[in-house]
């Protein structure tokens, strides 16, 4: 099953919806996917929904979960990316946080900020929590995952590397596209899926999801040791090799560029830089 948060006509609100082929069916009473996931029986509600219908090609989509209680991110989680950044393989996940203000829709533009000309791309697999997870084992963690989505952790590298902590380079307003869909685990195979990122149509990242050092279930279990994860919370799992900062010479995004991220079995983002 694929779920979206749909922007309703006129941009006055949003609605959770189910994707059937090329048709979106609204799920009445639920303003977004996060609100839907708050119901223990969300799968049944979504499967049986018969609300208003929309053509996908004509729809405008919001970020999958507009108001998560937390967005947690993983740095350095693909072997190739760790190596290109000149680091040793870590024993534990490198974690940092984002906020809901950083999220934006799957086709929304992102502004090139004058304060930092070193804007970089990071295509990532996103994990959406479907039920509360607190101190769960890795075996239990899979049952707490509602599904998967695509993200681009657009990073302001100049600010990121001002200090040894990354936060200030990762939390710029409306800089993290997420979507277009939440795909439930039964329809997504991380063992075969490939993540691809392009800039102006040119490939810059292409890597198998299976190369994640710390798997989604491991991340859910690890984070849940520290604090509860709630339905709608997001975990970004990290980016593979091919980021602009690691290139020689370094390459950064500028106004006029279009950066796109796709993952097999989920879909893709397309982000104009303005």
Residue 153 and residue 139: Cα distance in Å, rounded? 28
* Average of per-residue pLDDT across 224-247: 96
Q: What percent of the chain has pLDDT over 70?
A: 98
Convert the pLDDT of each residue in 181-233 to its tens digit.
Answer: 999 999 999 999 999 999 999 999 999 999 999 999 999 999 999 999 999 99
Convert the pLDDT of each residue in 7-44 to its tens digit.
Answer: 987 656 999 999 999 999 999 999 999 999 999 999 99
Tokens of 128: 């959406």
**What is the fold, at CATH topology level, of the domain defined by 71-272?**
Fumarylacetoacetate hydrolase; domain 2 (3.90.850)
Alpha carbon distances (Å) from 84 to 127, 161, 240, 267? 25, 16, 10, 27
Residue 80 and residue 86: Cα distance in Å, rounded? 10
Specify the pLDDT at position 266. Answer: 97
In this model, does residue 241 exceed pLDDT 80? Answer: yes
Q: Which of 96, 95, 76 is nearest to 241 (CA)?
A: 76
Specify the pLDDT at position 209. Answer: 97
**What three-state secondary structure class fits 56?**
helix
pTM check: above 0.85: yes
Residue 10 and residue 56: Cα distance in Å, rounded? 16
Convert the pLDDT of each residue in 39-53 to its tens digit.
Answer: 999 999 999 999 999
**Cβ neighbours of residue 249 under 8 Å, at least 6 residues apart?**
none
Convert the pLDDT of each residue in 157-174 to its tens digit.
Answer: 999 999 999 999 999 999
Q: Which of 271, 274, 76 is nearest to 160 (CA)?
A: 76
């Amino acid at each position: 099953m694929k779920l979206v948060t749909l922007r309703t006509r006129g941009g006055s609100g949003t609605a959770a919806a189910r994707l059937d082929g090329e048709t979106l069916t609204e799920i009445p009473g639920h303003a977004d996917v996060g609100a839907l996931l708050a119901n223990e029986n969300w799968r049944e509600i979504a499967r049986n929904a018969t609300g208003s219908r929309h053509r996908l090609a004509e729809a405008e989509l919001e970020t999958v979960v507009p108001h998560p209680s937390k967005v947690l991110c993983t740095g350095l989680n693909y072997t190739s990316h760790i190596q290109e950044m000149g680091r040793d393989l870590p024993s534990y996940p490198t974690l940092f946080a984002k906020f809901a203000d950083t999220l934006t829709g799957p086709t929304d533009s992102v502004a090139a900020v004058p304060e930092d000309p070193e804007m970089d791309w990071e295509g990532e697999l996103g994990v959406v929590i479907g039920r509360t997870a607190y101190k769960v084992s890795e075996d239990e963690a899979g049952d707490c995952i509602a599904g998967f989505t695509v993200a681009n952790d657009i990073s302001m590298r100049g600010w990121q590397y001002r200090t040894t902590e990354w936060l200030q380079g990762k939390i710029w307003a409306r800089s993290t596209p997420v979507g277009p869909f939440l795909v439930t685990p039964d329809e997504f195979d991380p063992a075969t899926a490939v993540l691809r990122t392009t800039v102006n149509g040119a490939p810059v990242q292409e890597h198998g999801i299976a190369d994640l050092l710390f798997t989604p279930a491991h991340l859910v279990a690890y984070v849940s040791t520290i604090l509860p994860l709630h339905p709608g919370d997001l975990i970004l799992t990290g980016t593979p090799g091919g980021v602009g900062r690691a290139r020689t010479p370094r390459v950064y995004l500028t106004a006029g560029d279009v950066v796109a991220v796709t993952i097999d079995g989920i879909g893709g983002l397309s982000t104009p830089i303005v």
